Amino acid sequence: MTRPRPQIAGIGNPLVDILAAIDAGGPERHGLTLGEMHLVDAARAAALYAEIGPGVQQSGGSVANTIAHVGDLGLKGTFLGKVAADDLGGVFRRDMAALGIAVPVPDQTDGTATGHCVVMVTPGGERTMSTYLGACECLTPDDLPAALPAGTAILLVEGYHFDTPHGAANIAQAVELARGVGARVALTPSDPSCVDRQRAAMLALIEGDCDILIGNEVELAALSGAQDAMTALHWALEHCRTVALTRSANGALVADGGPVVEVPAAPVARVVDTTGAGDAFAAGFLAGLAKGADVAEAARTGAALAARVIGHFGARQSKAA
């Protein structure tokens, strides 16, 4: 009897990314910190969009990108997040459906717009994000399905979702659904500023229900208070069996209840845009683990996928994006 393919689920903030090339000083001129994500209200989002222009529009959101890549890798996936019943919400749903990703949460219909993110990309490929959450903030535990699909191996939690009004409750409910089907729980902290805002909530998850932690060295340093990558990694391993600490061009440090393994970054001919590199790494890493790969092999899959994403504009490589 053929075993069904493993599935991966994720909970996070579904967005439509608006990608725009900008000079190195552009983010600062707009009052933004280079390389970080900033939350803005509807008025600021509209003003920034008017200044930047339409750019390139594609479905995004950190964990949504990861689950989309999972679809590219041939696994089934489920994404838990709320979009509106508007044009951008329709784009998001069509993109995910084209990859075989289920989005079982109902649309928001009260006039709140689908969330979007202006991604300013400097010549070196660094991205600075200005995010209007919109309908993302309307998700409640009542919107979540009664169960995750049988065969779901991993649930990935997006740190950014803690920023929403019901984020902690939504995540707790999703974790309960994951345990109901025997799935492991993974967390991506999202970025250092998100850790600063939501450190207590993330630590509660890490010290409780988190099996897998995936983050870069700055994020894990912010969580742990450590001054170096190896100390941060060992702190994480005190709480989570499986940890992947990414270091951009310096590769990743990974461990799964055993020795720490250093996995080099995959070669990139030319860095075009680092948007979504971490999301892509997470997809390859989790897909590998779900298929039964060891932690080093899973990290190599993640590194290869991240390298492909870095080589073009935008956070996804699929035709659906």
Domains and CATH numbers, the chain: 7-13+61-110+135-310 (3.40.1190.20)
CB burial string 101-134: b at 16+ within 10 A, e below: bbbebebbeeebbbbbbbbbbbeebbbbbbbbbb
pLDDT confidence tier of residue 148, bands split at 50, 70 and 90? very high
| Eight-class DSSP state of 108 | B
CA gap 187, 282 in Å, rounded: 10
Cβ of 43: how many Cβ atoms within 10 Å? 9
pLDDT tens digits, 102-133: 999 999 999 999 999 888 888 887 888 898 99
Alpha-carbon distance of 163 to 18, in angstroms, equals 21
What average pLDDT does this structure show over 288-299?
97
Cα–Cα nearest to 36, from 123, 119, 154, 146: 119
Indicate the burial class of 298 (C-beta count within 10 angstroms; 0-12, 13-18, 19 or more). Answer: buried
Return the percentage of the chain with pLDDT > 70, whole number: 93
Distance CA 137, CA 110 (A): 13
Q: How confident is the model at residue 69 (pLDDT cuts 50, 70, 90)?
A: very high
pLDDT, tens only, 231-269: 999 999 999 999 999 998 899 999 999 999 999 988 887
Query: What pLDDT score does 315 carry?
Result: 54
Q: Which two tokens stand for residue 310?
A: 């870095």
Tell me the pLDDT tens digit for each residue of 272-288: 656 678 999 999 999 99
Q: What is the largest CA-CA distance in the chain?
A: 60
Paired tokens of 255:
């461990």
